[in-house]
Structure 1
Amino acid sequence: MFKKAILGITGFILVASCVSSKVYNDLEERYASLKEERNALADENQELKTANNGLENDLAALQKAHDDAVSERDRLRQEYTAAKKNLENLQESYNALEKNSSAAIAENSKKNRELLAELETKENALARESARLEELKKQLEARSRRVDELESLIASKEEAMKNLKDAISKALLDFEGNGLTVEHRDGKVYVSMENKLLFESGSWAVGSEGRRAVAELGKVLAQNPDISVLIEGHTDNVPYRGNGQIQDNWDLSTKRATAIVHILRENPNINPQNLTAAGRSEYAPVATNKTTQGKAKNRRIEVILTPKLDEVTRLLNEI
């Protein structure tokens, strides 16, 4: 996605040679934002690789224990075969000496008893090792099944989030170009709405067009009850100087997030237990606060949709 965005921006610049400096600055900021998103995705990918390497190391250790058990079993089996062959040879010697000397017969009989005892000991050891090998094999198979199940579950949730992103993009198609973006990254769906779509300056009352956009989003969320919904309010770094109902940007960002929650609650099919409102104030910017355009991008509502991972956590604990 990052490469496509860069190619699109570059192509746009080449074609529109007469664009204004304001549009150029917007593109530069978009480029910087995309680089930040790429870096965040790379970090998340590295964490997933690290977790996967840990699982592979655990499987490798269990496989090694299994292989060691197989080697020990084979060694005991060889000793058992050799002992059995030796017993057969002694038995033949015993039969030959039986006719010649009672003393020799007694000595041979003693050796036979000793060898039989040794053989019985090795048989017992072989049986114990075979049982241990079978148990290790079962553990390896069970863990492999759980890893396969975990990979399948993660893949299905990733596919579900892609489908959710497509459904939201389709539902909010009318609002494209009005400060609204829908992205799928890090296994989550991010719906970002700039304040120009939702609020007047310094206000937390949602306008009619913004209310319509949130309601459309709510229709999609109502069809996905297994999704956790975090609504974050963000501001620029300009201190709030409104009326006494709001103390600062923290209050303003929280009230704006809560206002979105109230609109979503109007849809009776959305479980309120899935909703969380949070104010982030000015401390999670997506653009520089040194320009008017950057500040406009930072004044936004982000709706972060996350799949519920209870089953994934259970499988990880079992591995």
Structure 2
Amino acid sequence: MKKLILLGISSMFLLGSCVSKKEYAALEAKQKETQDLLNSATVKLNSCLEEKASASARATALEDRIADLRRSNENLIQSNKDLTILTSKGASNVEKTLESMKEKDLKISRLQDAMNKKDSVMLALVTSLKKEVGINDPDIEVNVEKGVVFISIADKLLFKSGSYVVNDRAKEVLGKVAKVVKSKPDFECMVEAHTDPVPYNKPPLIDNWDLSVKRATSVVRVLEELGVNSGKLIAAGRSQYVPIESNDTAEGRAANRRTRIVILPKIDEFYDMIEKEMKNLEAAGN
């Protein structure tokens, strides 16, 4: 290109000596136009070279990106396969867990039904006792305590002071209790006698333990005479050790001298019922 420029300049000098000024000016203008075109072409060439370099760089980057995407796609495909396997196993585990939860819920429901049935029976028993025994008597209390029904009878209704012989009025009350107990063959009846702490020593009895036990067995014998199954009866003496009032007053000591008749479901039969339900559920699951 430099040679071309020098050649043009030399030609102008040579022609200048043999051409007119007008022709020289025209040639000079032509030369300038040519030079401008050359400069423009040079700029475009450089721009094209830069664009080519940039395009080449972008193409290389795109190729690298495509390679990365292909690797990522392969990894995703493999991960999807692994996930499918895991999902299948997870679904199986979830299904087993749900089945186990259903079985547990069924067991809980069965046990709850059993407890509700027991509570319903106890409520009916309380209603029967209150109706038969007579809830209006202040010396007789019928209630439910910790899942069992009890009848608390004041000492003065059953025995004379210091005696363990059941009086005639007590037999009337015990007759009503016996009637309800006999109607519930799945229940046991525990007679629990309590005393105050005043020392007691009337042979053949030597202390309040003896007196409480003897009073309990006396009530049990009356219930036997009234037709209650002997195998359902329990005699228990508690002496002075479970007071419900302070023993500092005469009224408190009188309240503590009491006999409780506790009517409760046979615990072994209740647990047998639960065990039977559990076995039925296991058999159904298999």
How high is the TM-score relative to the length of structure 2?
0.63
Q: Aligned residue for 1:164?
A: 125
Displacement after TM superposition at 1:215 (Å): 1.7
Q: How many angstroms apart in 2 are the aligned matches of 1:175 and 1:204?
A: 26
Q: Aligned residue for 2:230?
A: 272
Higher Rg of the two aligned structures: 2
Q: CA separation of 1:313/1:248 partners in 2, compared to 1, >3 Å: closer, same or farther? A: farther
SS in 1 for 2:243: coil
**Code of the aligned partner of 2:231:** Q
Q: Aligned residue for 1:133?
A: 94
Q: 2:213 aligns with which of 254, 259, 267?
A: 254
SS in 1 for 2:122: helix
SS in 1 for 2:242: coil
Q: How does 1:196-215 map to 2 (within 5 A)?
A: 196-215=156-175
Q: How does 1:1-319 map to 2 (within 5 A)?
A: 124-173=85-134, 176-177=137-138, 179-242=139-202, 244-268=203-227, 270-308=228-266, 309-310=270-271, 314=275
Q: How many angstroms apart in 2 are the aligned matches of 1:260 and 1:254?
A: 10
Q: How many angstroms apart in 1 are the aligned matches of 2:113 and 2:272?
A: 12
Q: CA separation of 1:192/1:174 partners in 2, compared to 1, >3 Å: closer, same or farther? A: closer
SS in 2 for 1:200: coil
Q: How many angstroms apart in 2 are the aligned matches of 1:199 and 1:122?
A: 82
Structure 1 runs of 4+ aligned residues shifted over 6 Å read 114-121, 315-318
Q: How many angstroms apart in 1 are the aligned matches of 2:119 and 2:249?
A: 36
Q: CA separation of 1:280/1:136 partners in 2, compared to 1, >3 Å: closer, same or farther? A: same
How many pairs are equivalent?
A: 205
Q: How many angstroms apart in 2 are the aligned matches of 1:275 and 1:245?
A: 24
**Code of the aligned partner of 1:294:** G
Q: How many angstroms apart in 2 are the aligned matches of 1:225 and 1:285?
A: 31
Q: CA separation of 1:167/1:157 partners in 2, compared to 1, >3 Å: closer, same or farther? A: same
Displacement after TM superposition at 1:218 (Å): 0.7
Q: Deviations over 1:161-186 (max 9, x none)?
A: 12111111111128814x21111233
SS in 1 for 2:161: coil
Gaps of 5+ in 1: 1-111
Q: How many angstroms apart in 2 are the aligned matches of 1:311 and 1:226?
A: 12
Kindly indicate whether the alpha-carbon contact (under 8 Å) linking 1:254 and 1:280 is maintained by their aligned counterparts in 2: yes
Q: How many angstroms apart in 2 are the aligned matches of 1:187 and 1:249?
A: 29
Displacement after TM superposition at 1:287 (Å): 1.4
Displacement after TM superposition at 1:231 (Å): 1.2
SS in 2 for 1:303: strand
Give me the identity figure in percent. Answer: 30
Displacement after TM superposition at 1:115 (Å): 10
Displacement after TM superposition at 1:116 (Å): 9.9
Q: Deviations over 1:271-302 (max 9, x none)?
A: 33332111100011111212222111111100
Displacement after TM superposition at 1:252 (Å): 0.5
Kindly indicate whether the alpha-carbon contact (under 8 Å) linking 2:190 and 2:234 is maintained by their aligned counterparts in 1: yes
Kindly indicate whether the alpha-carbon contact (under 8 Å) linking 1:150 and 1:312 is maintained by their aligned counterparts in 2: no
Q: How many angstroms apart in 1 are the aligned matches of 2:236 and 2:161?
A: 19
Q: How many angstroms apart in 1 are the aligned matches of 2:76 and 2:244?
A: 81
Displacement after TM superposition at 1:156 (Å): 2.4
Q: How many angstroms apart in 1 are the aligned matches of 2:76 and 2:134?
A: 86
Q: CA separation of 1:313/1:280 partners in 2, compared to 1, >3 Å: closer, same or farther? A: farther
Q: How many angstroms apart in 1 are the aligned matches of 2:168 and 2:226?
A: 16
SS in 2 for 1:250: helix
Kindly indicate whether the alpha-carbon contact (under 8 Å) linking 1:175 and 1:213 is maintained by their aligned counterparts in 2: no
Q: Deviations over 1:88-125 (max 9, x none)?
A: xxxxxxxxxxxxxxxxxxxxxxxx9x999987766554
